[in-house]
Structure 1
Amino acid sequence: MRNKTWIFTRQFVAILVVICGIVLFSPRAALAHAILVSSQPAINSTVSGPDVAVLLKYSSRVDLEHSTLTLLDPNGKVEKITINSEPSPGSLSAKLTGLVKGAYVLRWQILAMDGHITRGTIPFQVK
């Protein structure tokens, strides 16, 4: 009986060591990405035009030179948007002008300071 307990204990310890190794050495790439924390305009919001201020805040610092904003208008036309500044670390600002009534999609792609690229979209309506 004692021999069976010893074998069970050794197997349990071996399994525990393998699980700990997997947890400790598994990649944590998802933790390194900059995630959109808040946006102006908000996702699926309705805003007044024709001019709309854009403020995007992320969970970490971003590289302005390698980040882009584009706007898909109600007619399907895509326009590159100039990023004005970084009002605070991890945020981007821009100004959308001349918007008419309809559905828009603001597309963003940012390069986090750790080298990871993140993309997303912000659909919104202009009334």
Structure 2
Amino acid sequence: MNMIRSLAAALIFCLTSVPVVAHAILLSCVPTVNSIVKGPDTPIRLRFNSRIDLKRSKLLLVYPDGTQRELTISSQDSPDMLVSEAKGLSQGSYLIHWQVLASDGHITRGEIGFKVQ
């Protein structure tokens, strides 16, 4: 009987426990993936599903010729967002490499490709 109670208690605990934190997942972005935008200045906004550590996050812009430049991240509008602006972009294909540190202590990375018309 004690084993049944123990198993029942463990099952109830597993079914009712909810994770407190999770890795940062990109929910939305501007520019959107594979979008075509008008230059020369392009706002960049990334929204995640969790709080982001702004000081340990990075945005890197890769130009059509392969040149890379780290973008300055503006102070946060919201704790789950990264905001920046890419200025003076000419026509071509660009890539944004992003890296964020979420509230769970894990680093998440990704990239967003877009074109300037």
Matched residue, 1:49 = 39
What is the Cα-based RMSD across aligned positions, in Å?
Answer: 2.1
2:52 maps to 1:62: yes
Post-superposition offset of 1:89: 2.0
Matched residue, 2:4 = none
Matched residue, 1:82 = 72
Matched residue, 2:112 = 122
| Greater RCO (CA < 8 Å, at least 6 residues apart) | 2
> Which structure's CA Rg is the greater one?
1
CA distance in 2, matches of 1:98, 1:35: 29
Post-superposition offset of 1:88: 1.1
CA distance in 2, matches of 1:95, 1:88: 16
Q: Describe the superposition over 1:58-83 as per-residue Cα deviations: whole angstroms up to 9, x where unpaired.
A: 00000000000000100001111110
The count of corresponding residues between Structure 1 and Structure 2 is 105
Write the letter of the residue equivalent to 1:126: V
Matched residue, 2:84 = 94
Three-state SS of the structure 2 residue aligned to 1:93 is strand
CA distance in 2, matches of 1:67, 1:92: 8
Question: Which consecutive aligned stretches of 4+ in structure 1 deviate over 2 angstroms post-superposition?
Answer: none
Write the letter of the residue equivalent to 1:101: Q
2:23 aligned residue (26, 29, 33)? 33
Percent identity at matched positions?
46
The TM-score normalised by the length of structure 2 is 0.82
Write the letter of the residue equivalent to 2:111: T
The TM-score normalised by the length of structure 1 is 0.76
Write the letter of the residue equivalent to 1:59: N
